[in-house]
Structure 1
Amino acid sequence: MTTIPVAVPRKGRPLEAVLERVAAVGNAESVADAVVSTLRYEKAVTKGDQTAAGDVYDRLADYSDTDPHHPEYTLFRDARPGSPRRIVFDSLCVEVGEHELHLVGREEPFRALRKHEFPLGFDSADLVLEEVVGIESDPLSSLSELNDRIDPRDTDVRVVDGLGDTVDHALLSTPDVASDPDRSFLETYQGPLCISPRYERLVRAIVGTDAMEGVSFRYPGDREEEAAIASAGLGVYLTVTGSTARDHGLRVGERLFPSETVLLENPEEYTDAVGTIARTLVGSVETTV
């Protein structure tokens, strides 16, 4: 049995999407559910929504197991001021067919693949956009276009496919700016566009440089994003149903790009076993090598 190391996020929606997919192909529903429930509980403790009965180190010892087929966890310093160390995912081995996946938690799986530490990994498509996708005059609108926009001089890593856990980067506007904002509206629009600062490069890529002429970025600061967009009149923000946006009087327009967990591979680390696992994880896909 060949063991394939796979870099995965340590927490959050992307990790849950990975665990759901691994559970489906590896008959590991119970252990995947245990990891998800544990991390959701620990997130609630970190946010102050739950009161833990014991010390964080005692809980860490209770959760973890030296058997590689049982989950291990580790401590991670939460970024918010004053927050305690947070328990996050660290490691788990799951048998998938004739091979074994060794899921290894990383804060930045994509960067771990770029450094040739893993042949496969899962991360957000957003990070690929933020780091290596070229910004061109034409907008980027689908996952299938990502690899064509990656300069091979920047990285060997390529996107295999997405997991379908889609949250969309969507155009939002107040009714006085646009009743149904879309890409064609952006082509003639001149004025402020409210976005999260971390998404500046991403927005330039998915909108395209031609549509950015005459547009100036605004940032939410301490306000919640929907409120800031309502003040600016137009913005790009992640949305599922759009209900919160509508609560702020915003119109939900075109969904510009999916924020989705994707399977990544480094072709330089390719083997037949890696190719088999990649096809199993995302279905009948052609690998990028």
Structure 2
Amino acid sequence: MEPIRVAVPRKGRPLEAVLERVARSGFEETADEIISTLRYEKAITKGERTDERTVYERLASYSDLSTPEQPEFTLFRDARKGMPRRIVFDSITLPFGDRRLQLVGREEPLRALRKHEFALGFDSADLVLEEIVSLADEPLRSLQAVNERISPSDTDVRLVTGLGDTVHHTLLARPNVLDSPDQPLDRAFISDYSGPLCVSPRYERLVEATLGSKAVEGVEFTYPEEGQEEEAAIAECGLGVYLTVTGSTAREHGLLIGERLFPSETVLLSNVSEMSAAAESFVEQFLATSELETAMPPSQ
């Protein structure tokens, strides 16, 4: 019987969020092995660790192709200076009830679903906002509202649930940008604001979706210079949007922490036209074991 195939990122926080859910399903050792291997390889790529073995020797030591229940890794050409080869996740097959679940690494799982290569996948909610939600005057405030902004004529992909590994896209500003110390730094402030707003280049459409098209009519997007920290660039600009957890780095740059605009987390996605009975069963079991408030029916 064919396994249930689910597209997952090859590396990074979204993949770790998926693996943490895998760990809670009884595969803690396997998940920990994959996460620790990828973190080690990331450190080598960034020059923080060294290893006398070649990248091919390390790859051979990590992957056991004779056993599908063991993780497989592959090589990816990293975009960093010199374009080094980086070891990333490839796949693993695990027992899932009376079937098997195969997690398959993809550079952009959302796009693999859009191309009907998979019925299910995990990816960042950010990419969903950047690629498939429609822009409107009203701001997009929550994961629950995402499917209402996806046109059925554009794509069959829908958001099923979030995994809860949440950080937030947050308004940040220097105090002197506000008219008074008591003025809230929120969407209403942006609606009345005209001037520069600093964002990461890839977040321009996301920011417009979460603030609302009408609110950004007087806004001029600016971007950090190459190699510049986002918080430093926002402090230089005066106002911006960036991901925050505690806000400590922003405060170190003299920035006020404003309204949380939208959760940035890993989400389960489905291509509704590709869903099979096995895929539906996976979604039902996944949601049944989810303790997350963001869960929603896959048919939305």
Counterpart CA distance in 1 for 2:237 and 2:109 is: 35
Contact 2:159-2:298 within 8 A present in 1 as well: no
| Aligned position for 2:118 | 118
How do residues 30-179 of structure 1 correspond to structure 2 at under 5 angstroms? 30-66=29-65, 67-178=67-178, 179=181
TM-score w.r.t. length of structure 2: 0.93
| Aligned position for 2:248 | 243
- Specify the SS of the correspondent of 1:91: strand
| Aligned position for 2:8 | 8
Displacement of 1:279: 2.3
Q: Which amino acid aligns with 2:191?
A: E
- Specify the SS of the correspondent of 2:134: coil
| Aligned position for 2:293 | none
Aligned residues: 288
- Residue of structure 2 aligned with 1:186, choices 190, 195, 200: 190
- Specify the SS of the correspondent of 1:127: helix
Counterpart CA distance in 2 for 1:165 and 1:137 is: 28
1:232 aligns with 2:220: no
Q: Which amino acid aligns with 1:247?
A: E
Q: Deviations over 1:119-148 (max 9, x none)?
A: 100000111111110000000010011111
Q: Deviations over 1:153-187 (max 9, x none)?
A: 11101000000001110000001113541111111
Contact 1:171-1:181 within 8 A present in 2 as well: yes
CA RMSD of aligned residues (A): 1.3
Contact 1:2-1:98 within 8 A present in 2 as well: no
1:221 aligns with 2:225: yes
Counterpart CA distance in 1 for 2:166 and 2:101 is: 24
Counterpart CA distance in 1 for 2:218 and 2:120 is: 41
| Aligned position for 1:209 | 213
Contact 1:2-1:273 within 8 A present in 2 as well: no
After TM superposition, the structure 1 stretch with the greater mean CA deviation from structure 2, 183-192 or 39-48, is 183-192
Counterpart CA distance in 2 for 1:212 and 1:250 is: 21
Q: Which amino acid aligns with 1:288?
A: S
After TM superposition, the structure 1 stretch with the greater mean CA deviation from structure 2, 88-97 or 173-182, is 173-182
1:288 aligns with 2:299: yes
- Residue of structure 2 aligned with 1:254, choices 255, 259, 263: 259
Contact 1:46-1:83 within 8 A present in 2 as well: no
After TM superposition, the structure 1 stretch with the greater mean CA deviation from structure 2, 103-112 or 220-229, is 220-229
Q: Which amino acid aligns with 2:234?
A: I
Displacement of 1:23: 2.2
Unaligned runs of 5+ in 2: 291-295
Displacement of 1:262: 0.3
4+ aligned runs moved over 6 Å, structure 1: none
Counterpart CA distance in 2 for 1:159 and 1:198 is: 21
Q: Deviations over 1:70-121 (max 9, x none)?
A: 0000000111121420000001011122221100000010010111111100
| Aligned position for 1:274 | 279
Displacement of 1:16: 0.2
Contact 2:158-2:298 within 8 A present in 1 as well: no
Displacement of 1:2: 5.2
Counterpart CA distance in 2 for 1:164 and 1:208 is: 24
Displacement of 1:255: 0.7
Contact 1:143-1:162 within 8 A present in 2 as well: yes
TM-score w.r.t. length of structure 1: 0.97
Counterpart CA distance in 2 for 1:258 and 1:157 is: 19
Counterpart CA distance in 1 for 2:176 and 2:297 is: 46
Contact 2:7-2:121 within 8 A present in 1 as well: yes
Q: Which amino acid aligns with 1:11?
A: K
Contact 1:9-1:108 within 8 A present in 2 as well: yes
Counterpart CA distance in 2 for 1:252 and 1:182 is: 10
Counterpart CA distance in 2 for 1:279 and 1:258 is: 23
Counterpart CA distance in 1 for 2:174 and 2:2 is: 55
Displacement of 1:48: 0.4
